[in-house]
Structure 1
Amino acid sequence: MATSLPEIQQCGEGVILSKSAKRVGSKGGLESEEEDTKSPILIFLYFHKAIRNELDSLHRLALAFATGHQNVEIKPLFQRYRFLRLVYKYHSNAEDEVIFPALDNRVKNVANSYSLEHKGESSLFDQLFELLNSYTQSNESFPRELASCTGALQTSLSQHMAKEEQQVFPLLIEKFSVEEQASLIWQFICSIPVNMLAEFLPWLSSSILPVEYQDMLKLFSPGWKGRRAQMQLKVMWIILRF
């Protein structure tokens, strides 16, 4: 008999995972009806929230730039776009190389569509950077085009992440033990270059609320069964602490 899947839903500024009833809420922190259930997969909710926050901030800046309501320094803005592109590139690559192949071994005909969406999102980033590289102060249409490109990117990535939260994460929680989930998280992190992690982890911690950061550390803490998972996640806990 099939086990009914938990559902992940958006709720205001937060994310709710029913059954394990986890929530990254507008006030911060994971809220749970089952405090003993600490699914490592929930760490991805924090990754997604950080990406959403940056997309929202960049789109608001682009809109302010387009409407002339705010003086925007172009160089720092470009640097933020480049960093977000790298973050999302490694996030997507890690999913394609680690998470989706593991899921495909247990649930068929799910992972492939998400990998295809990653390619489409990469094309949106390419279009954005083609526009950024063409920037000149004399190009009056540039601010409007930038706002349009940023809006399209925000919509596409937000919809994609929401689908993962609604469809992929519940399957990972259902089909993989807690120790297996911890191993997947470890492989996911290890697939990201060390020099990128050195930038990504501080950015992640600054992109979520302090109480959420502390909750994320708890998910990395070595409380799961299996010595290997404990050792691996303890290493990540130490890295995140510093």
Structure 2
Amino acid sequence: MGLPWYRVHTVVLNDPGRLLSVHIMHTALVAGWAGSMALYELAVFDPSDPVLDPMWRQGVACFGFGAFHVTGLYGPGIWVSDPYGLTGKVQAVNPAWGVDGFDPFVPGGIASHHIAAAFVVAGTMWYGSATTPIELFGPTRYQWDQGYFQQEIYRRVSAGLAENLSLSEAWSKIPEKLAFYDYIGNNPAKGGLFRAGSMDNGDGIAVGWLGHPVFRDKEE
């Protein structure tokens, strides 16, 4: 049980609200679902009959998911997003059996944890495939402080200009989600955990990107 505990807590350490909410939900799940299912499984438990052995059933399901579905041996794999949360694909993932398997953002840890959990408990069945930080948290002030999205926009625009595109054409190729993430980070009334104003100040609540800027020289 140490692996899922370490993995989940590492993911939510920098988000106090989510850290509190996952513990509240964990308490509800343990007291409600896990508690009632434990009583039911004890009532029907018969180790001599695989059909009536819930631990055996859960172990087989968990092992099958990790060893076949996630690894792509007999299945599609899992969804892995790019670091910016713009694109991604379903791909096979090799199990990570070393120290890197403890990294909550390494997809291989999902495969190895499912396979290992098959011999312990099937609780890791519900990890999901969210191993990309931006999929878990959304854009954070740490990324904005480092100019994470701004640098990627600059790189893409520079690449477009190198291909002899105009500035407007280069900007038009920037994905809307990337521009939106950068916008809410640079607007003090919108971005980050420590906003300077309410979300409905200025141009209203930020829900999407309204369009790329167009730069023109002032006509004399």
In which range does the TM-score fall when normalised by the shorter chain? under 0.3
Rg (Cα) greater in structure: 2
Q: Which structure has more helix as a fraction of its residues? A: 1
**Structure possessing the higher relative contact order (Cα contacts under 8 Å, 6 or more residues apart):** 1
Question: When the two structures are superposed, what TM-score results if normalisation uses the length of structure 2?
Answer: 0.27
Q: TM-score, normalised by structure 1?
A: 0.26
